[in-house]
Amino acid sequence: MSGQAKDHVDFAYELDLVIKPDSTVPLLGREFNYYVGSGVPLFSIGGGYFRHALQQILVGFHARRGYFIAETPIIASSELFKLSGHMEFYRSNMFVFDIEDKEYVIKPMNCPFHLLIFLSHIARYRGKVRLPFKVFEIGRVHRYEPSGSLYGLLRVRGFTQDDAHIIAPESEALNVVFNVFEEMVQLLEGVFNLKVSSENIYVRLSVSDRSLIGREFMGTIEEWEAAERALEEAVKAIEGKYGVSRVTGVGEAAFYGPKIDVMMVVKGEATVKEWQMGTIQFDFNLPRRFRIYDVVKEVYGETGVFVIHRALLGSIERFLGGYLELSKGRLPVHLAPLQIAVIAIKTGEEPVDKDIEFKAVELKDKLVERGFRVGVKETTKTSIGGDVRHIESTVKPPILVFIGEKEVKEGVLSLSVYTKGGRVRRQVQARTVAEAVREIEGVVLEEEKRVYEISGVNPRIPADLSHVL
Ligand code: ZN
């Protein structure tokens, strides 16, 4: 992508701009950046629907898998980040400011809050809190990056993690790591239609250099050995089940613990790009600073306990940047900003035309009532080809509904549904608008079936978006 990649995600051509590197950024885009500031992505109307639909799915997905759902503040007292060590070691990447003689920070990470939540839960409920304890948040963090290094949605100053922290006994570590990987697969396949295979996914395992433990790598030899053994065994199980390969980086672990990163390989026409997705990281530093080991020992009598950071998508912004590029802006029906375009085809004959227009608008209204994002486009038999091409190159709604003279007269509905393989045309009987709504809802539900199975959610955010067509 060129330096014109942008951090303002909106509808239509704006969504398209993210995937078309040589498009000229329109004046509006530049104004947005000027007023909003650089490196802080703004999800406008189109991006906003995507975000909210995805957030509903993510919350349902994690809640079903035993994660508690949290929401922690963007601004916090610097005391918390002194406790975590960030003020000492990470300050140059943080936004720090004073108000009424007190020092505050904009959180660069969610972890300290999640550990506080764990501790306060333990304090209140003691041994009734079961381990592994898992807390999830759609957490927006801000980190200072020099302006020269900012790049579209891929390198930003503000981003949102699908972030969770897991506090697990050592005996559960292998299961936790393997389950997190499985969750990632379910999410990528079920929600984003991305098939996980050895072709496009590999795992990067970053372990310590044993000779440097105690110096460059903090924690004890026993901790590193146990964590790396769990990761190694989990990676073996992942390799066995999914056929994905692995790269091991000795000495590449973070100073606070070993980790695995899941990498996606995106093959373009002439390029091969690597796209970092989820991560699972062990941490031997924060539990010491937050005295998690002492508390767990006192309450549970457990000595070996791990604190694990994990994200399935990583940064939602960076994931979206890569996903838009990969999918060429073609989003599945549950995530598409505009889900259904009703195309009213006029022939120029008065009574029939009125009927078509009426039916199209009535259908759109009823679909919006049912919770869908819909627009109506009026066209004629001569301009329909151009109009559909325009819609397909801009807003890319997964479902097109055609209403013309023939459809109204014969009580049928012509649908064009975008599925993984491309567009599929189909005709269904629909003598009334109510019947048409039922048929279209059935098509959406068919597409969303897997999303519902894994998250218990069919996100509904109703909107009349006719103006973007
Ligand atoms: Zn964390």
Q: What is the pLDDT of residues 117-143, one digit of tens each?
A: 999 999 999 889 999 999 999 999 999
Looking at residue 397, its pLDDT comes to 94
**Local confidence band at 352 (pLDDT 50, 70, 90 cut-offs):** low
By mean pLDDT, which of 269-273, 388-392, 396-400, 408-412 is the weakest?
269-273
Quick one: tokens of 224? 């590193």
Is there a single domain that holds both residue 275 and residue 396?
no
CATH number at residue 415: 3.40.50.800
Please give the mean pLDDT across all residues of the chain: 88
DSSP letters, 207-274, are E--GGGBTTTB-S-HHHHHHHHHHHHHHHHHHHHHH--EEEEEET-SBTTB-EEEEEEEEE-SS-EEE
Distance of CA 115 from the midpoint of ligand 1 (Å): 9
- For residue 80, being part of any structural domain is answered with no
464 has catalytic annotation: no
Distance of CA 82 from the midpoint of ligand 1 (Å): 16
Other Cβ atoms within 10 Å of 70 Cβ, number: 18
Q: What is the pLDDT of residues 18-73, one digit of tens each?
A: 444 434 344 444 556 666 777 777 777 788 899 999 999 999 999 999 999 999 99
By mean pLDDT, which of 15-19, 159-163, 391-395, 396-400 is the weakest?
15-19
114 has catalytic annotation: no
Distance between first and last Cα of the chain? 27
Q: What percent of the chain has pLDDT over 70?
A: 91
Q: Is the pLDDT of residue 240 over 80?
A: yes
Distance of CA 134 from the midpoint of ligand 1 (Å): 12
Domain count, the chain: 2
Other Cβ atoms within 10 Å of 188 Cβ, number: 23
276 has catalytic annotation: no
- For residue 94, being part of any structural domain is answered with no
Is there a single domain that holds both residue 122 and residue 215?
yes
- For residue 103, being part of any structural domain is answered with no
Of 287, 303, 327, the last residue of a domain is: 327
**Local confidence band at 351 (pLDDT 50, 70, 90 cut-offs):** low
Catalytic annotation, pick one of 161, 186, 281, 339 = 161
**DSSP-derived pairing of the beta strands 422-429 and 412-419:** antiparallel
Is there a single domain that holds both residue 322 and residue 357?
no
Is there a single domain that holds both residue 208 and residue 234?
yes
Catalytic annotation, pick one of 259, 310, 359, 373 = 259
Is there a single domain that holds both residue 115 and residue 187?
yes
Q: Is the pLDDT of residue 86 over 50?
A: yes
- Report the predicted TM-score, pTM, of the whole model to 2 decimal places: 0.91
The amino acid present at 268, given as its one-letter code, is: G
Quick one: tokens of 130? 């079961």
Report in angstroms the alpha-carbon separations of 178 from 161, 288, 299, 386, 387. 20, 25, 27, 49, 48
Residues 6+ apart with CB under 8 A from 84: 109, 111, 112, 115, 286, 289, 290
Report, as an integer, the average pLDDT of 371-388.
94
- For residue 394, being part of any structural domain is answered with yes
Catalytic annotation, pick one of 114, 140, 157, 165 = 165
Q: How far apart are CA 346 and CA 352, in angstroms?
A: 8
Catalytic annotation, pick one of 7, 10, 162, 163 = 163
Is there a single domain that holds both residue 319 and residue 463?
no
Classified as helix, coil or strand, 177 is helix
- The residues with which 429 forms a beta bridge, in sequence order, are 412
Looking at residue 34, its pLDDT comes to 65
Looking at residue 150, its pLDDT comes to 77
Is there a single domain that holds both residue 320 and residue 350?
no
Residues 6+ apart with CB under 8 A from 467: 375
- For residue 333, being part of any structural domain is answered with no
Is there a single domain that holds both residue 153 and residue 273?
yes
Q: How far apart are CA 7 and CA 33, in angstroms?
A: 8
Distance of CA 381 from the midpoint of ligand 1 (Å): 56
334 has catalytic annotation: no
Q: 292-300 and 111-125 are packed helices; what angle lies between their axes, rounded to 10 degrees?
A: 30
210 has catalytic annotation: no
Is there a single domain that holds both residue 136 and residue 204?
yes
- For residue 97, being part of any structural domain is answered with no
Q: What is the pLDDT of residues 402-453, one digit of tens each?
A: 999 888 888 899 999 998 778 999 999 998 899 999 999 999 999 999 999 9
163 has catalytic annotation: yes
By mean pLDDT, which of 145-149, 172-176, 226-230 is the weakest?
145-149
Instruction: Provide the CB-side half-sphere exposure for 228 (13 A, CA).
Output: 24
Quick one: tokens of 223? 């901790």
Looking at residue 17, its pLDDT comes to 43
Catalytic annotation, pick one of 56, 111, 310, 334 = 111
Is there a single domain that holds both residue 349 and residue 321?
no
259 has catalytic annotation: yes
- For residue 95, being part of any structural domain is answered with no
**Local confidence band at 168 (pLDDT 50, 70, 90 cut-offs):** very high
Quick one: tokens of 216? 């460059």
CATH number at residue 269: 3.30.930.10
Residues 6+ apart with CB under 8 A from 158: 39, 40, 41, 140, 141, 142
Distance of CA 118 from the midpoint of ligand 1 (Å): 13
3-state secondary structure 57-124: HHHHHHHHCCCEECCCCCEEEHHHHHHCCHHHHCHHHCEEEEECCEEEEECCCCHHHHHHHHHHHHHH
Block residue for tokens 């259908």: 363
Looking at residue 14, its pLDDT comes to 46
DSSP tag of 155: B
Q: Is the pLDDT of residue 290 over 80?
A: yes
Q: What is the pLDDT of residues 273-287, one digit of tens each?
A: 888 889 999 999 999
Distance of CA 40 from the midpoint of ligand 1 (Å): 21
Catalytic annotation, pick one of 20, 143, 310, 364 = 143
Distance of CA 69 from the midpoint of ligand 1 (Å): 15
List the domain range (segments joined by +) for residue 193.
8-72+110-327
Is there a single domain that holds both residue 350 and residue 395?
yes
Q: What is the pLDDT of residues 262-276, one digit of tens each?
A: 998 877 777 788 888
- For residue 400, being part of any structural domain is answered with yes
Is there a single domain that holds both residue 201 and residue 273?
yes
